[in-house]
Amino acid sequence: MSKDTEKTKFTSRVGAYFRGVRAELKKVNWPTKKELSNYTIVVFATTAAVTFIIWGLDLVFKNLIALIV
């Protein structure tokens, strides 16, 4: 197999890949601005809640360890 044939196969495979990506992105059901802002708020609120739960558990365990040691 010559270098030109390999290069042609590679470029055609890369081109086919990006054509496939473009076709799949056209099928995506993109959220509206309102939905996106609601999802963002939910993610931040959930992250904050989990952060405070872990912080509270850390304080409890730290105090328990301090009592034991």
Please count the residues of the chain. Answer: 69
| Number of domains present in the structure of the chain | 2
- 16 with 35, same domain: the answer is no
User: Given this model, what pLDDT does residue 7 score?
Assistant: 73
- 22 with 38, same domain: the answer is no
**pTM, two decimal places:** 0.60
- 36 with 64, same domain: the answer is yes
- 36 with 56, same domain: the answer is yes
Mean pLDDT computed over 25-54:
97
- 65 with 43, same domain: the answer is yes
- 16 with 37, same domain: the answer is no
- 42 with 56, same domain: the answer is yes
DSSP code per residue over 28-45: --PPPHHHHHHHHHHHHH
User: Given this model, what pLDDT does residue 6 score?
Assistant: 72
Q: Domain of 54?
A: 31-69
Mean pLDDT computed over 23-37:
96
CA dist 29 and 24 (Å) reads: 11
